[in-house]
Structure 1
Amino acid sequence: MQPQLAADILVKGMKDGIFTGVSLSDYITNGNTLQYIQASAILAGAGGAQHVADMALKYFNTLTKLSYF
């Protein structure tokens, strides 16, 4: 019910590994292979991870095709 608080919890939980014991940086870092399914499972759980990973990969591919990147 409080978007700012929810966003703060989301970011901290994923960054620090509070939700699953694994942090987002364990899966997505500069120079490493992007492991979208594993990273998505941190928040979406195993059942929703594939859907979130598919969307993330689509956005990543779109952004990397832009000329200013």
Structure 2
Amino acid sequence: MLATAHHETGRTMQPVRETFAVSDERAIAILERAWAAKQLPWVKNPYWRPDELSKSWLGRGLVQLTHKRNYERIGQLLGTDLVTNPEVAMQPAVAATNMVQGMVEGVFTGYRLSQFFNEQKADWRNARRIINGIERADLVASYAKKYYAAISYTV
């Protein structure tokens, strides 16, 4: 989880907005430019575009929570209304709980932490599937091993 937060937040370990923009408006502009330039081939629908209530479901948090249905699902899991005000996903306590619960429960991609780490195995690389397929999996695994070594150190 620490390695995921490290990677997803650009090493800040603080909740961030997708594209690391300082505002939703700026993030939307960056995403629109990338979409127009066909730099987002994995995106089928531009989820960041404001809906009929002017809310954007762009990525926010320690892991990039995107799409309205995910804000609804995570909000229900956390007992927090993320639909009325999606910006709540940027609050550190909410972002941390979102990441932990989402990774433990398999909310993001269907994969759970326990599938990769248990008494029989520690699959550092494939654990990336919990969040984002195997995108940058070797890099995130290298971070994870370093965090694990640091917190496992005994004198």
User: Which TM-score bucket, shorter chain as reference?
Assistant: 0.7 to 0.9
CA contact (8 A) 1:44 1:52 kept: no
Given the two structures, how large is their TM-score scaled by the length of structure 2?
Answer: 0.37
Q: Name the structure 2 match of 1:47.
A: 135
2:110 is the counterpart of 1:21: yes
Residue 145 (structure 2) aligned to one of 50, 57, 63: 57
Higher relative contact order (CA 8 A, sep 6+): 2
Higher mean C-alpha displacement, 18-27 vs 47-56? 47-56
Larger Rg: 2
Matched to 1:56, the amino acid is A
Q: Name the structure 2 match of 1:12.
A: 101
User: Which ranges in structure 1 are unaligned for 5 or more consecutive residues?
Assistant: none
CA contact (8 A) 2:128 2:135 kept: no
Matches of 2:136 and 2:107, distance apart in 1: 18
Given the two structures, how large is their TM-score scaled by the length of structure 1?
Answer: 0.75
Higher helix share: 1
CA contact (8 A) 1:20 1:42 kept: yes
Matches of 1:18 and 1:67, distance apart in 2: 34
User: Which ranges in structure 2 are unaligned for 5 or more consecutive residues?
Assistant: 1-89
CA contact (8 A) 2:103 2:113 kept: yes
- Are the structure 2 counterparts of residues 34 and 26 from structure 1 closer, same or farther at C-alpha, using a change threshold of 3 Å? same
Give the count of matched residue pairs. 66
Matched to 1:35, the amino acid is D
Matches of 1:11 and 1:59, distance apart in 2: 16
Q: Name the structure 2 match of 1:2.
A: 91
2:128 is the counterpart of 1:37: no
Matched to 1:32, the amino acid is Q
